[in-house]
Each structure stands twice: as C-alpha cells, then as structure tokens.
A and B are shown apart, each in its own frame.
Chain A
C-alpha cells in the first residue's frame, strides 16, 4: 500500500494510535535516543540516527526470565516472568537498524524459539524513515546488501518529501496502522512517485564510504584464522566493548542470578547483554580461555559478522550503520579492517 501523508497531518495520525506504546527518537543532551513519547509533538523525525539502535526495545539490555524464592515453609518457588503484552510502534527507524532486526530474527528463531524476543518482535510495528542523506559519515549500508531506502524489516517506510511523507506499507500490521488514520492519507500522484525514486537514487550516491568486493571477504577470512594480522589490528583496542553494545546486529548475552534478599531468600534470573570483546566472555571456570587475547577477540567480532554468520545464515551480520566506527575510542574502523582483509597477502 502506497500513500501520501502531509507532515501537518502526521500528529493527527499519531493521535489515532493511542492504543499503542509509541517510541520515537528524542533529543537528549545533544544526542538522539529512542524513548517512549507522550504526545505526538514529541516525535521528531528530522534527525540523523540514534546512538543506540532500537534493538534495545526488542531485546532489552536487562530482562527478567524468572523469579525465585523460598516461601514461609522453606519451599523453593520458581515463577517464569514473560514480557508484558502490549502493542508497540517504533517511529523513525533507519533502514540499517530495521534490517538488523531481520538478522537477529534468524538467530532468535532458528529452530529453537526465544519467546521473549519473539513476543516483543511480534507485538512491535517498525515504522521506518528512509535516509535522504547519510545519517553518519561512516554509513556504508550499500556495501552489505543494504540501501538508504531498504524495506527489509519494516511494517511501514516513510520517505521525507519536504512537506509530505511518502508512506509505503509493507505488512498487514502496517496496513492496520494506516487504516487507523483513515482520511489523512491520500494516494500518491505520478510525479510524487517520480520524486520518491529520485530521492532514493540520490541518497545512494551520497554515501561516502564503502567496502568494495565484499563477497571476497568471507573466503579470505577463512584463510586468516592464524594470521598475525589480528595482532596488528587489535593492538590499540581498549576492550571497552562499545562496538558490540552499539551494534544493531550484536545479540550476545549472559544469563545470571541476582539475589535481592538472603532472608527470606528471593531473587531473579536475568538476561543481560554481553560482549565478545570482554576477556571473561569465553573463559572456562578452570581458567582456560579459548580467546585469551585482544587479537582473538577482534578476530571473533570480524569473523562472526563476515564469515560464520554468512556460512550459517547466508547474510552478513553487519548492516553498515557505522556506529562501531564513529564511537570507537581508539579509531578501530571496520571498513578499513575489511578492506585490508580483502587485500591481505
């Protein structure tokens, strides 16, 4: 379904979505983050991209799996805690971050299903905003099967046409949301479709960075497991882990028990994001560590995204958002690393 929505009608549409919990990018301390909004006026779609991808809404940084405790007669009680049932809409999602959700879907529902992720994913509509100009100088989505107007992972994709949005619904969930705003949307005219095509084509040309011949990288990596390359590339790494925390496709987590009271005994089993750049991520209780140094951990990050994931799921586990480049405190640049890998040896 394709429609046109005047920007001045946008708040009226959002008002009709009052049954939904609505997230939107919000400006805070000069950066953008996805927050729950209270009034349609809080939605600000003239923005680059949020520091953190909306993965935090689907796969929260901390989430309770179980509650456990002992009753008065000392019986151990364990209760599962499931995500709250509600309908959610996220506005302003960039194509790289929506595509990232389609990649984590592969992991969380390969054959064994993760109900926590699955339930949130199912009850959340993703409304995207095409990138008319690259939100970051380090954007490289077109190198990894993406584009500034990719439709992967969206229920609705909006493209800014100045005073209007070109609205494309891609799912039934998207159609339902548009139907809630009946009367506000009109059919696009032929010149508006042309305008859309031009904006999309221009947007692709505006990307400044790329990884050429990316398809050469997975087989090349396969030969480079033992290479000294990883020592050189990881030399400056501070193992802070910001690259993976901010990555929209990184999904690794820890499960641990949090005891909140000793008497009476009570606590939670929780899932929290974890990070392959941390030394104890893979350390056995014996002290043996299969990835004992920075080199093996950087190698894991690159190989997971550009070899292992490709072998397992036939996609790069990277959508070219550029966050890991922009936020690395020592300037480790995945585009440079990949270009070097391609040309190595």
Chain B
C-alpha cells in the first residue's frame, strides 16, 4: 500500500438511480460502476467515501453484496451538502469512490448459525450487503430472518426487493403508527422483536438503524436471552479521511472509520458513549 495515494478517488459512473422514499427526507439508491477498474472487492459491512467533485466526500455503507461484481450500491438520505448534490445527479454522471474502508461483519464465523437482521429506516442499507451475501450462500447458514420497520410504509426502503425476499426468507415488517391497509405489525422495531421472539439458540442478531432504536433492540434481545457477543451493529460518526488519521470519528482509542464500523455489543459497551 506504500505507493498508493489513499486520498485519490477512483472515478465511477452512476448507472442507475432509484427513488426509495419521497418527502422531507428522501432516500435514493445509487448504483455506480468504476470507470477503469472492475476488481473492486469489498467485504460485508464495509464503507466507501463517495465524492461529488466541488462539494466534497461523505462516507456511506456499501449496500450491495460482495458477490455482485457489476456495480457498487449506496442508499443515501438527502441530508447535507454532498448528499443533496448526489440527489440532484442523473444517470451517467461521474462521482468518485475511495475504498473499501473499515472492518466488516465476521460472516465466516457465523457459518451454520441462524441470522436475524433487525433494521430501522435507512438502517437497512448497511444490513443489506450482509443479508444478500448470506442469501447468496444460503446453504452455509441457518434460518435467515428479517425484522424491519420504518415510521410509515412510505419510509420503508427496498420495498420491491422486500417482496421478493419473502420468497426466500422470513420477513417481518412494521410501521410505527397505524395506517390504512397495513396488515403487519404496528409499533416500534424493538416491540416487533419482542413480539416475534427470535430464539437466541445458535443465532446472531445484526441490527442497524437510529441510535435510539438500536438501544432498545439490544435491550429486547437481551430479554430474549441473547448474549452481548451474539449482537452486532454498525456505528456512524462524522468522517473525513476514512483511514484513521484525521482524528474526528474516534470513540475512545477506536477510529470508527478504520477499526469500525462493525462492532459486537460486547465490544461496543466497553467503549465510551460518544457516538
């Protein structure tokens, strides 16, 4: 890695943009193809810095499975300067990508286990790569279960994919408040976890979403008998370099960009609450 310029992004073309959620906090899913390289290989849960030249860079979870080689996928909520300009981009526009960055889910260690994915809102994006990977290697894993919710049905991402997913694994959806035509669980995601009572036996739970949701999901899982090292999550902090140098994403001695974003609850609970 000595001669590689770690700050130089690879150029990529946006090949597909899909509206996931509309409204005040819209979410779009972008698929991008590197212009010169095809051998970008990432692991489940890793991130990348996405550049809009003239606006800057932001870190996003790569939501496509490592098994997909044709494109990299990011699901992005319109929030600040970089995400707003990404939302105004069109297919064939050029972005920059630096990565893959950070650690990953220890998916090899989970072979033979039941995997329970628990997501809220856009938190499904970091889960999606590991979920798709497990699905692609289905024979290596036990039952696959998804418990996913959002404020309203309109705030659920990957809606079409979720319907497809039902054919291959158990999917439990929820919305926070009652709405017309909704036939599944009504309530917060942690309540849905308690309601569906996944067994901790030979299981791993992977949860991503708003910090408050994660907190109560971990409580709910604890009540069901999950041990701290059976629960995995991802952490976010503001990042610039993505390689553990610029000094802003640290939680204690850990740099989330490099040592994270994936942590087991056993690891994370030992760190100061600074995220």
Q: Which residues of A contact B (CB under 8 A)?
A: 65-66, 68, 76, 78, 80, 82, 107-108, 110-116, 225, 251-257, 259, 265, 267, 269, 271, 274, 276, 281-286, 290-291, 296, 300, 303-304, 307-309, 311-312
Q: Is B248 touching A76 in the complex (CB atoms < 8 A)?
A: no
From B57, B83, B247, give the contact of A252 (CB < 8 A). Answer: B247
Q: Is B1 touching A267 in the complex (CB atoms < 8 A)?
A: no
- Taking A80-B5, A284-B237 as given, write out 14 further A-B residue pairs in contact, using a Cβ cutoff of 8 Å, ordered by the A residue number: A66-B8, A68-B53, A76-B11, A110-B244, A113-B2, A252-B246, A252-B248, A253-B240, A253-B246, A255-B57, A282-B248, A285-B79, A290-B275, A303-B252
Q: Is A115 touching B53 in the complex (CB atoms < 8 A)?
A: no
Query: What residues on B are CB-neighbors of A65 within 8 Å?
Result: 7-8
Q: Which of B163-179 contact A (CB under 8 A)?
A: none
Query: What residues on A are CB-neighbors of B240 within 8 Å?
Result: 253-255, 274
User: In the complex, how many angstroms separate the beta carbon of B62 from the nearest chain A beta carbon?
Assistant: 18
Query: What residues on B are CB-neighbors of A269 within 8 Å?
Result: 7, 51, 53
The total number of A-B Cβ pairs within 8 Å is: 117
* 18 interchain pairs, CB-CB under 8 A: A66-B7, A78-B8, A110-B244, A113-B6, A114-B243, A251-B247, A253-B245, A255-B240, A255-B246, A265-B54, A269-B51, A274-B246, A282-B248, A285-B79, A285-B81, A285-B83, A290-B237, A308-B250
Q: Is B79 touching A286 in the complex (CB atoms < 8 A)?
A: yes
Contact A112 B56, CB 8 Å, known A255-B241, A308-B252, A311-B253: no
Query: What residues on B are CB-neighbors of A265 within 8 Å?
Result: 54
Q: Which residues of B contact A (CB under 8 A)?
A: 1-9, 11, 51, 53-58, 79-81, 83, 94, 96, 236-238, 240-241, 243-253, 258, 272, 274-275
User: In the complex, how many angstroms separate the beta carbon of B157 from the nearest chain A beta carbon?
Assistant: 17
Query: What residues on A are CB-neighbors of B94 within 8 Å?
Result: 76
Contact A68 B246, CB 8 Å, known A78-B96, A312-B253: no
Q: Is B248 touching A276 in the complex (CB atoms < 8 A)?
A: yes
Query: What residues on A are CB-neighbors of B249 within 8 Å?
Result: 282
Query: What residues on A are CB-neighbors of B236 within 8 Å?
Result: 284
Query: What residues on B are CB-neighbors of A300 within 8 Å?
Result: 250
Bound-complex Cα distance A76 to B94 (A): 7
Q: Is B54 touching A68 in the complex (CB atoms < 8 A)?
A: yes
Q: Which residue of A lies closest to B94 (CB)?
A: A76
Q: Is B6 touching A274 in the complex (CB atoms < 8 A)?
A: no
Contact A267 B5, CB 8 Å, known A108-B245, A276-B248, A284-B236: no
Bound-complex Cα distance A76 to B13 (A): 11
Most buried by A among B1, B55, B94, B248: B248
Q: Is B53 touching A113 in the complex (CB atoms < 8 A)?
A: no
Q: Is A114 touching B54 in the complex (CB atoms < 8 A)?
A: no
Bound-complex Cα distance A217 to B248 (A): 23
Bound-complex Cα distance A208 to B167 (A): 75
Bound-complex Cα distance A282 to B96 (A): 23
The 3 lowest CB-CB distance pairs between A and B, nearest first, are A285-B80, A252-B247, A308-B253
Contact A257 B55, CB 8 Å, known A76-B11, A308-B252: yes
Q: Is B53 touching A253 in the complex (CB atoms < 8 A)?
A: no
User: In the complex, how many angstroms separate the beta carbon of A239 from the nearest chain B beta carbon?
Assistant: 15
Bound-complex Cα distance A80 to B9 (A): 9
Bound-complex Cα distance A291 to B252 (A): 12
User: In the complex, how many angstroms separate the beta carbon of B264 from the nearest chain A beta carbon?
Assistant: 19
Bound-complex Cα distance A104 to B6 (A): 17
Q: Is A291 touching B56 in the complex (CB atoms < 8 A)?
A: no
Query: What residues on B are CB-neighbors of A66 within 8 Å?
Result: 7-9
Query: What residues on A are CB-neighbors of B9 within 8 Å?
Result: 66, 78
Bound-complex Cα distance A312 to B251 (A): 12
